[in-house]
Amino acid sequence: MLRIKYEDMVKEFQRVLLARGFSEKNAADAAIVFAQNSLDGIYTHGLNRFPRFVSYVDKGEIKADVAAECVMSMGAIERWDGHRGFGPLNARQAMARACELAKQYGIGLVALGNNNHWMRGGSYGWQAADEGCIGICWSNTMPNMPAWGGKDRKIGNNPIIFAVPKSNGDHVVVDCAVSQFSYGKIEEAKLKGIQLPVPGGYDEDGNLTTDPAAIEKTWRVLPMGYWKGSGISVLLDLISTVLTNANSVQKIGTFGDEVGLSQIMIAIDPGKFNDADTTDRIVEELEADIKSSIPAVEDGKVFYPGEIEINTRRDNLANGIPVIEEKWEEVLNL
């Protein structure tokens, strides 16, 4: 397996973005977003997603020179317009503002409409936690999943993120789509030639399958929790559309590509209730209880949410980021 230094990956991404009209700062910040995703083991939204993102820039669907702006402000709640700019930078700006509001009011919410794909939603949970805040955020998507009981794609696999901070940076973070597997995970399994660990969608005969290639033929992916995930998807879309007054999953589906998304950033400052030591103690007691679980399989391990990413980040910093060689070559040739 080819492994690439984090710094080298950042430089290559930055080179490509500078050639497409990004400013020095935006190219550097955007390159770091993609490289950090791969650094944490979220390869589907790092290197593997970068060429597709560049294709959107080349088609003019992502604008390199625009930034999100606040269009309404009401105390702890604001509405922002992303102006179809670079999704991750707009999302980082919106979460940073939510954290500022949380430090002032105890809670802050930024409803970010008309943004583009934010890549890895977990980035903004980690960002909030790095600021000492509890983070809650989600995005809608294009219609890419059937509502429960249906066959055609009407709802989104709308990712939702929860994060709780620890003062040493080893935060507790959940980042998940409301499909059983994100499209990126299905694509990654296909590229690696492996089966999904549990059924993730339906084949052409309408049977549940673990075969990513069979799911790609139908794109009839499975909501997590079956009808529960379907219902959660609908409500996340409704809340984000109401608060942004921007684009719903249904409307995004008329655009041709996954652009113009609606996203919600919520930050809560636990420091308004507890000092940092108290919050750390609460988190560490929970982690210790989870880690004391009896493994379901011999020599198995039980992880708390976010622990695998922390371990992967340390390994990849020390030894380089593993890459799929054809994807790395694709970036080198851009």
Strands (E), the chain: 3-4, 69-74, 77-81, 107-115, 134-139, 145-146, 153-155, 160-164, 172-176, 201-202, 208-209, 261-268, 321-322
| CA–CA gap between residue 213 and residue 58 (Å, rounded) | 28
Sorted by sequence, the CB contacts under 8 Å of residue 79 that are 6+ apart come out as 70, 71, 72, 73, 110, 111, 113, 243, 244, 245
Q: What is the mean pLDDT of the chain?
A: 95
Sorted by sequence, the CB contacts under 8 Å of residue 195 that are 6+ apart come out as 189, 210, 211, 212
Beta bridge partners of 115: 261
Residue 51 sits at φ, ψ, to 5 deg, of -60, -35
Whether this prediction's pTM lies above 0.85 is answered by: yes
pLDDT exceeds cutoff 90 at 132: yes
Q: Please give the share of the chain, as a percent, with pLDDT higher than 70.
A: 100
Upper half-sphere CA count for residue 327 (Cβ side, 13 Å)? 25
| CA–CA gap between residue 239 and residue 266 (Å, rounded) | 13
Q: What integer is the mean pLDDT of 15-41?
A: 93
Quote the pLDDT of residue 183. Answer: 82
Q: Which residues have a catalytic role annotated?
A: 45
